[in-house]
Chains A and B, each alone.
Chain A
């Protein structure tokens, strides 16, 4: 079926799928400034996301057929020219970002209309499209400095998007400012790291860099410093445990649509960059044997899983609770990556995809509640199970998946992660996974208990569902969670191919 869709596309688009994926949303962002109203900008956003998704699907087929797709921008051959390079690892992230992008774009209009002032709609969508461009650009580029540029493109537009939550709740401004400061420090650290690597290798192309780094002594100070700066810089962007302080407030006070989109994509893309540097640019032998980052990542990930789940238990605001839970879930992904085995990496990536789906669904359901009942505290959710059964059933399913109930996606990836941990002899990590899941039962349980078993505090709450535009993407995400819970083979194939691709950088230039 995929082949027939792709074959219907024009040849020019198939041949240039890699740059078009990034350029089409970028150009549409420029056009958004000139359209007459927010609704037109919304239509353009959906259009751009769908074109990007089609490009990603085209690339999926091409990667399946030829292993690596390399596109030379401007006709300059790498390593001098900038290369868009798609292999098994980043096609996963391109698909994730574009799929979430389409679903998020579709549901956005009702919440944006309710939460953002009308004169800012067009610019809001322009900023969103630029953020989308940046995120897909990070995932597609094969050039270390280009990656930094895209990272900044996405981050700067994200600060704007978070700050636009100020119309609804003025705490969005300090949250956005904090995020701006932390994000800028992270980006600076990253670019310093790239600078060190450039000094040591004389190249910015990631494949070329990997080859040259292999020839350099393992204890070269510049390379070690570069590695450290890059890990810390990307750690900030990925909300790795002690560097996550920007995340809860940014997620809690941003417009609902922004929270949903960011939670499902932004930190994930930063984790992609971490994997790309930890496994492809630096050989796994270097990362895990010479530097032994497992000893840093492992404990940090486990602390994140316990501490942030614990913090989530005490939150009174649903969005803050989910935000702390996000930091904890980043811990799961990093744990999988930290053990440095192929099974661990694929488990981490698997959990990453599942988490994007279920957190996306959870935040989308919360966006629906914000829309209909204007409240995000747990007490506001009381009795909503009767008032909005469709929205809340999806919320509950995604919540159960977050806990790791069997038959949901969360169970599959946690189980997979557990096996990887036991195979690698990390017994403590396996215990931590289970303990953190228990904490998830408590914090999700508090909300679900309020939703389904408490009487509504507010008598005005009659039956009021979220609009259809929100329900359809919400249920697509929810059903995807259930489907992966039952039939996970295809996605496991995808993540295993991704893990494979990150271990062996195939095909020299």
Chain B
């Protein structure tokens, strides 16, 4: 097994960190310009999917367990909704970033923090969901075993 696809394995090893860095570039660029959690989440998931394609799904499952991917999706959801609740507890409307931190009127710290956390939540949920879907398809085995026929 190890001798196969040397070029593919070497190239994908080289590519993977670049993909991850690019994902985070898209992620943080999303605060001010085109980009954001959706795209970054997909790109981040793609790096793991590429790993799974080249090195096999069991290896990928050892690196990023399916349980972790599913939990990541839920954590992202909780982070997103939690920011909204946090603003609400501070006396603002749901998801009103201005109420996230105490600041002088006209300050934008709350807005910065809010969009950062929200996009992070989207990143977690999208990459977690993409991986979960990938694992569900890639790890599929026949439900009826041969001896059950």
Closest to A29 in B: B77
Check if A73 sits within 8 Å of B93, measured CB to CB.
yes
Which positions 83-98 of chain B face chain A at CB distance < 8 Å?
84-85, 88-89, 92-98
Pick the residue among B92, B94, B98 that contacts A23 (CB under 8 A). Answer: B94
Contact A26:B81 (CB < 8 A) given known A16-B88, A34-B71:
yes
A26 pairs with B95, CB closer than 8 A:
no
Tell me if A78 is interfacial: C-beta within 8 Å of chain B.
Answer: no
Answer whether residue B74 sits at the interface, using C-beta atoms and an 8 A cutoff. yes
Q: Which residues of B contact A26 (CB under 8 A)?
A: 77, 81
A74 cross-chain contacts in B, Cβ below 8 A: 93-97
Q: Does A242 have its Cβ within 8 Å of any Cβ on chain B? A: no
Residue B64 lies at the interface, judged by CB distance under 8 Å to chain A: no
Which of B75, B94, B98 interacts with A19 by CB under 8 Å?
B94
Q: Of B70, B78, B93, which one neighbours A27 at CB under 8 angstroms?
A: B78
The interface residues of chain A lying within 8 Å CB-to-CB of B89 are 12
In the assembled complex, B30 has its CB within 8 A of some CB on chain A = no
Q: Give A410 to B114 CA distance when docked, in angstroms.
A: 50
| A280 shortest CB reach to chain B, Å | 24
Closest A residue to B91 by CB, please name it.
A12
Asked if A73 and B95 make an inter-chain contact with CB atoms under 8 angstroms apart, the answer reads yes
Instruction: Give A68-84 as 1s and 0s: 1 = Cβ < 8 Å from B's Cβ atoms.
Output: 00011111000000000
Residue B35 interfacial (CB < 8 Å): no
Q: B84: which A residues are within 8 A, CB to CB?
A: 19, 23
Q: How far is the CB of A410 from chain B (nearest CB, A)?
A: 39
The reply on B65 being an interface residue by CB < 8 A is no
Note all chain B residues with C-beta closer than 8 A to A422. none
Shortest CB-to-CB span from A212 to chain B, Å, is 25
- Nearest chain A residue, comparing its CB with the CB of B79: A30
B93 x A30 contact (CB < 8 A): no
For the complex, is A431 an interface residue (Cβ under 8 Å from B)?
no
A30 to B84, CA, bound (A): 15
Interface presence of A31 (CB below 8 A): yes
Determine the distance from Cα of A74 to Cα of B80 in the docked complex, in whole angstroms: 13
Judged by a CB distance under 8 angstroms, whether A243 is at the interface is no
Please report which residues of chain B, range 22-43, place their CB below 8 angstroms from some CB of chain A when the two chains form the complex. Answer: none
| A-B Cβ contacts below 8 A, count | 54
B98 touches A75 (CB 8 A): yes
* Contacts known (A16-B88, A27-B81); A33 close to B70, Cβ less than 8 A: yes
Within 8 A of A (CB), among B61-120: 70-71, 73-75, 77-78, 81-82, 84-85, 88-89, 92-99
The verdict on A16 contacting B94 (CB below 8 Å), with A23-B84, A27-B82 known, is yes
- Contact B96–A34 (Cβ < 8 Å): no
For the complex, give the distance between the alpha carbons of A12 and B71 in Å. 29
Q: Is the interface of B mostly helix, strand, loop or mixed?
A: helix
Task: Give bound CA distance, A33 to B95, whole Å.
Answer: 23
Chain A hits for B98, CB < 8 A: 75
Asked if A75 meets B92 with Cβ closer than 8 Å, knowing A27-B85, A30-B81, the reply is: yes
A23-B84, A23-B85 known; A71+B93 contact, CB < 8 A: yes
How far, in Å, is B17 (CB) from chain A's closest CB? 29
Interface residue total, chain A, C-beta cutoff 8 A: 18
Q: Which residue of A lies closest to B81 (CB)?
A: A27
Provide the A28-72 mask, 1 if CB < 8 A to any CB of B, else 0: 011101100000000000000000000000000000000000011
Instruction: Choose among B70, B74, B94 the residue with the greatest number of A CB atoms under 10 Å from its CB.
Output: B94
Neighbouring B residues of A71 by C-beta, 8 Å: 93-94
Considering the complex, give the chain B residue whose CB is closest to the CB of A166: B143
Cβ contact within 8 Å between A72 and B81 = no
- Asked whether, in the complex, the Cβ of B74 is within 8 Å of the Cβ of A75, the reply is no
- Give the residue name and chain of the B residue nearest to A74 (CB): B95
- Give Cα distance in the complex from A269 to B131, angstroms: 32
Given A12-B89, A19-B88, A23-B85: A30 touches B95 (CB 8 Å cut-off): no
Q: Assess the A33–B74 pair: CB atoms within 8 A.
A: yes
Contact B94 A30 (CB under 8 A): no
| Chain A: minimal CB distance from B32 (Å) | 18
A30 to chain B, nearest CB (A): 4
Residues of A within 8 A of B81 (CB): 23, 26-27, 30
**Residues on B with beta carbons closer than 8 Å to the beta carbon of A73:** 93-95
A30 touches B96 (CB 8 A): no
Contact B93 A16, beta carbon cutoff 8 Å: yes
Cβ–Cβ < 8 Å partners of A19 in chain B: 84, 88, 93-94
Q: Find A75's partner among B70, B77, B85, B96 (CB 8 Å cutoff).
A: B96
* Neighbouring A residues of B99 by C-beta, 8 Å: 75
Most A Cβ at <10 Å: residue of B85, B92, B99: B85
Residue among A16, A29, A73 facing the most chain B CB atoms (10 A cut-off):
A16
A149-202 CB contacts (< 8 Å) to partner B: none
A16-B88, A19-B84, A23-B84 in contact; A30/B97 too (CB < 8 A)? no
B-chain residues with CB within 8 Å of residue A72 when the two chains form the complex = 93
- Measured in the bound complex, the distance between the Cα atoms of B109 and A467 in whole Å is 55
Contact B78 A31 (CB under 8 A): yes
Contact of A33 among B71, B93, B94 (CB under 8 A): B71
Distance in angstroms from B71 CB to nearest chain A CB is: 6
Residues of B within 8 A of A75 (CB): 92-93, 95-96, 98-99
CB neighbours of A23 from chain B (8 A): 81, 84-85, 94
Question: Inside 8 A of B85's CB, which chain A residues have their CB?
Answer: 23, 27
Which of A20, A26, A27, A31 has most chain B Cβ within 10 Å? A27
Query: Which A residues touch B93, using CB under 8 A?
Result: 16, 19, 71-75
Q: How far is the CA of A73 from the CA of B88 in the complex (A)?
A: 11
Given contacts A12-B89, A20-B94, A72-B93, 11 further A-B contacts (CB under 8 A): A19-B84, A19-B94, A23-B81, A27-B77, A29-B77, A30-B74, A33-B70, A74-B93, A74-B95, A74-B97, A75-B95
Can you list the 7 inter-chain pairs with the closest CB atoms, starting with the nearest?
A: A75-B96, A19-B94, A33-B74, A30-B77, A74-B95, A30-B74, A30-B78
Question: Could you list 11 examples of A-B contacts with CB < 8 Å?
Answer: A19-B88, A27-B85, A30-B78, A31-B78, A33-B70, A33-B71, A34-B71, A75-B92, A75-B93, A75-B96, A126-B74
